[in-house]
Chains A and B, each alone.
Chain A
């Protein structure tokens, strides 16, 4: 689920330009096979399909000559925790996030985002890797993943061998629907460091209804509480800039003095961190009002609890 420009209602693509553009269908059974097929960079990658299929119908996504279904690649599955990090395979579905005790206990904001994600059917199919590669400014899991300092793992074939690189999620997004992923790369996993002890997190998503809605704004917040002092503060916003963003000024304001004195400076800082636009979901003015009011409410709750 992602925002896209309003259409006039005419399908932008006739079927022959959509699915019919696909010449080859591939369903690799291993990561090595998958990255080998990606060598030429001329494949459309299919995971959950919940963004790709509707986007291909409206013409926003164009199919490459090869459609590569990565759902049978075992290396892309599973949630695995090590001592200091959790690795989410790119094919981890939103339902799997919701069902994970580890996510619920340690990554509350991510669990809340999964809980507010679209609908049951879409949660069953949509994947965390797909949500990241779709790079919507309003992508539900992206805001909490930014709060948790997630890194993405990209794999490609170099000289006949799989080569990996990782980069911080905050650097991965370039613009709406655009990322640092090269056409020859497959996003294979998201690595999330285990937050420090005492770290708590919250996610807020604003839409006009509780289900099946795209955020007009989203806020992720996390910190370690030390009396009325917040340490390791992390704030992220969705749908208020061309990409989901970490809010550096807001974080600095919250770290600089104890609650509740930090709240009003943090709200002023947040206003400088965000760059919302007006679209059919909300005006820029309303998005600013929401960020201020909702962030204030979240911080008041933190102060009082």
Chain B
């Protein structure tokens, strides 16, 4: 033993700056992403997409493609008559046989010996189309006589020949609606001294994951399906793939290689995945399908573009009286999670601030555009953009300081909102005050207003925005739980097998910290296993900023059970009551004296190798004490709620329209900091994503066609534009959170655009209600060369 390296103990791991466990592999280029995996006998697949935006398919000729040497299979909808629809509304068949509704639409696919051969074969497929009218905007889609995107029932035929309607026809192009109300709007209006109304337009952006989408599908000789998949929700997808394929879900195994970015984009099944599976089934070979970057732009989901009309009022004392909101969401050609973002939007609209009377009506409208999925924030960026603009406008209208106005209406701990959310821990007012004081917000706000007419073309301004988001999971399924298995070996090395998935957010490290903290072990004593559905216990998946909270509590539960077992063994071995013992620095200690009784590994070995041989192996399933919402969208959907305020400082060049983000001062109620380095990185990354949404990113869609499917013309923020970021953590020590922590994943991206809009107004006196704030858009607004968005006439 003496020759061996002894583990290092650094005391408590909570709140320390701990490098992510996967950082050395990623930084040294050793991480094996799905792109790096090649299976023996593997074929490469490519998809033929539509050359038309909206058309009937008259004929498909795959003869030349099939004849190309090296091609193993060419499939069209006709080859998979048993295919079933995917997506949230089941309105989307993976391979389109009779009609295309968007240029991303999949018509045929090839599996071949190489990517080059597959690409060449795709080019040999001939498709004859009969064009249909293009529905380019939600506004056009709602006009009387507009072409219907899904005007006929979608019927599939089972293997037994039975026909089944899987999606009902939509005769008005409406894909999904949500209506929520609390209080009484006319009463609220009657109490108001000021009412403001605006129409906001939120644009298309997409995730731009550095790792493009991909999948490898393989059937073994017994027809069990193995998928290497980048999914964020492996257990949900296992079930969904089983339904798609008519298989027993137990025969599907999903392995998640390290994922090169998710951000919500991998919450749904997209056509390329079933297509790769069909090809694997037909060829009896492993089939790998990896997107090109252009395909990633074209055929991965977007954030939901929204047109939002909002009226808000307040009393002379600053109290909000009502908020009346209607939105139209551009759903795109098919329905994915984007259509359900109103779940989150209505929380911000009804409950970020106390507003007694509130209406929220929303419709997702089919168009021939790219279809929207879920994206970090899940509708919250759009809702916050409108709500925070009105907080500033109302404050100005009654002559009140915007910080004071917000403090009057901000939620307090203990509040149960009309929507049923119970804010057991709530650091919102601390967030407001901390961000304001660290940024010197009030002084800078007043100073900037005094310079609107000083003749200097370059203006400075500050803007404030806050956010509310779920921070303790979100019970949108019957269970919002996560399982953990902890196995300790005879050297006290822990294998922490968690249901949770790692998508770069740093969950492995935080889960390891929580378990090690409980068991008195260093981080080097743990291996996290989290990527194989045949090994790991069930979990909902990565969404709703839930992993630290839910999987953290689960890991903690399993660790506590292991600890109890070890302490019980030590108690009997040393004849001291277990309550007197603890685990620290790899040893069992006596709490009162600090005396080290035995190394944990030695104790475990004595358990293993005794005549009553026993292993230290525990399981725990954590289910948060939250509730599914009822049909009126009421219910305490999360076990905890996260809060944040961000103040931005900007510079606007009124002669060019360039808006520079100079500094972001954030205060985040995160419950408790677990990994300080990790959470700083997550917040900085989120701020930069919010900056891109506000200032540079713009997926330009014209008549259904994406005009900038590349990083040259789709402008991500690059290193020189990243502002100074000052983050304060408000530690409210949530009673249900693991070690007091709440979720933080989505929060930092949510307020940036809203705060920048307020800062542009503070700098220039011009309120811009449409994103993005690219130089030309800002310049046009400043020089009255653009119209503010207007509400849809046909609506």
Interface set of A (CB-CB < 8 Å, partner B): 1, 6-11, 14-16, 206, 208-214, 216, 280-283, 285-286, 289-290, 293-294, 297
Q: Are B721 and A9 in contact (CB under 8 A)?
A: no
Q: Give the residue of A1, A14, A212, A290 whose beta carbon is less than 8 angstroms from that of B119.
A: A14
Q: Are B295 and A9 in contact (CB under 8 A)?
A: yes
Q: A289 contacts which chain B residues (CB < 8 A)? A: 779, 783
Q: A293 contacts which chain B residues (CB < 8 A)? A: 655-656
Given A14-B119, A297-B655, decide whether A211 and B719 contact each other with a Cβ distance below 8 A.
yes
Q: A14 contacts which chain B residues (CB < 8 A)? A: 116, 119-120, 122-123
Could you give 9 example pairs across A and B, Cβ below 8 Å?
A8-B51, A8-B706, A209-B696, A209-B717, A209-B718, A210-B721, A280-B708, A285-B785, A286-B657
Give Cα A289–Cα B780 distance, bound, in whole angstroms: 10
Q: Are B707 and A6 in contact (CB under 8 A)?
A: yes
Q: A280 contacts which chain B residues (CB < 8 A)? A: 700, 707-708, 713
Q: Are A15 and B119 in contact (CB under 8 A)?
A: yes
B290 to chain A, nearest CB (A): 14
Q: A285 contacts which chain B residues (CB < 8 A)? A: 785
B516 to chain A, nearest CB (A): 41
A112 to chain B, nearest CB (A): 16
Determine which residue in A16, A208, A214, A216 has the highest number of CB atoms from chain B within 10 A of its CB, and name it. Answer: A208
A281: nearest chain-B partner, CB-CB: B713
Q: Are B294 and A211 in contact (CB under 8 A)?
A: no
Q: Is B31 an interface residue (CB 8 A)?
A: no
A15: nearest chain-B partner, CB-CB: B116
A10-B298, A209-B696 given. 19 additional CB < 8 A pairs? A6-B707, A6-B708, A6-B713, A8-B709, A9-B103, A9-B294, A9-B298, A9-B709, A10-B294, A14-B123, A208-B658, A208-B696, A208-B774, A209-B717, A211-B719, A280-B700, A289-B779, A293-B655, A293-B656
Given A280-B707, A280-B713, A282-B776, decide whether A211 and B718 contact each other with a Cβ distance below 8 A.
yes
Determine which residue in A209, A214, A280 has the highest number of CB atoms from chain B within 10 A of its CB, and name it. Answer: A209
Give Cα A8–Cα B103 distance, bound, in whole angstroms: 8
B292: nearest chain-A partner, CB-CB: A11
Q: Are B700 and A212 in contact (CB under 8 A)?
A: no
Q: Give the residue of B49, B294, B720 whose beta carbon is less than 8 angstroms from that of A210.
A: B720
Give Cα A14–Cα B124 distance, bound, in whole angstroms: 11
Q: B774 contacts which chain A residues (CB < 8 A)? A: 208
Contact with A along B751-795 (1 / 0, CB 8 A): 000000000000000000000001110011001010000000000
Q: Are B294 and A208 in contact (CB under 8 A)?
A: no
A109 to chain B, nearest CB (A): 19
B783: nearest chain-A partner, CB-CB: A289
Q: A208 contacts which chain B residues (CB < 8 A)? A: 658, 696, 715, 774-775
B695: nearest chain-A partner, CB-CB: A208
Give Cα A297–Cα B653 distance, bound, in whole angstroms: 12
**Contact-residue bracket for chain B:** 35 or more
Give Cα A281–Cα B708 distance, bound, in whole angstroms: 10
Q: B708 contacts which chain A residues (CB < 8 A)? A: 6, 280
Q: Are A290 and B656 in contact (CB under 8 A)?
A: yes
B741 to chain A, nearest CB (A): 35
Q: A9 contacts which chain B residues (CB < 8 A)? A: 103, 294-295, 297-298, 706, 709
Q: Give the residue of B709, B718, B776 whose beta carbon is less than 8 angstroms from that of A283.
A: B776
Contact with A along B470-481 (1 / 0, CB 8 A): 000000000000
Q: Is B648 an interface residue (CB 8 A)?
A: no
Give Cα A213–Cα B721 distance, bound, in whole angstroms: 13
Q: Are A286 and B779 in contact (CB under 8 A)?
A: yes
Q: Is B162 an interface residue (CB 8 A)?
A: no
Q: Give the residue of B51, B120, B780 whose beta carbon is less than 8 angstroms from that of A10.
A: B51
B296: nearest chain-A partner, CB-CB: A9
A298 to chain B, nearest CB (A): 11
Give Cα A293–Cα B656 distance, bound, in whole angstroms: 7
Give Cα A55–Cα B708 distance, bound, in whole angstroms: 15
Give Cα A211–Cα B715 distance, bound, in whole angstroms: 10
Q: Are B713 and A211 in contact (CB under 8 A)?
A: no
Q: Are B776 and A212 in contact (CB under 8 A)?
A: no
Q: A282 contacts which chain B residues (CB < 8 A)? A: 776
A62 to chain B, nearest CB (A): 16
Q: Is B163 an interface residue (CB 8 A)?
A: no
Q: Is B631 an interface residue (CB 8 A)?
A: no
Query: 9 closest A-B pairs (Cβ-Cβ)?
Result: A9-B709, A6-B707, A9-B298, A293-B655, A9-B294, A286-B776, A210-B720, A14-B119, A14-B123
Q: Are A209 and B720 in contact (CB under 8 A)?
A: yes
Q: Are B120 and A16 in contact (CB under 8 A)?
A: yes
Q: Give the residue of A8, A11, A16, A213 whose beta carbon is less than 8 angstroms from that of B705.
A: A8
Q: B719 contacts which chain A residues (CB < 8 A)? A: 211
A2: nearest chain-B partner, CB-CB: B712
Q: B123 contacts which chain A residues (CB < 8 A)? A: 14
A292: nearest chain-B partner, CB-CB: B655
A282: nearest chain-B partner, CB-CB: B776
Give Cα A281–Cα B698 distance, bound, in whole angstroms: 11
Give Cα A71–Cα B119 distance, bound, in whole angstroms: 31
Q: Are A212 and B707 in contact (CB under 8 A)?
A: no
Determine which residue in A212, A214, A281 has the highest number of CB atoms from chain B within 10 A of its CB, and name it. Answer: A212
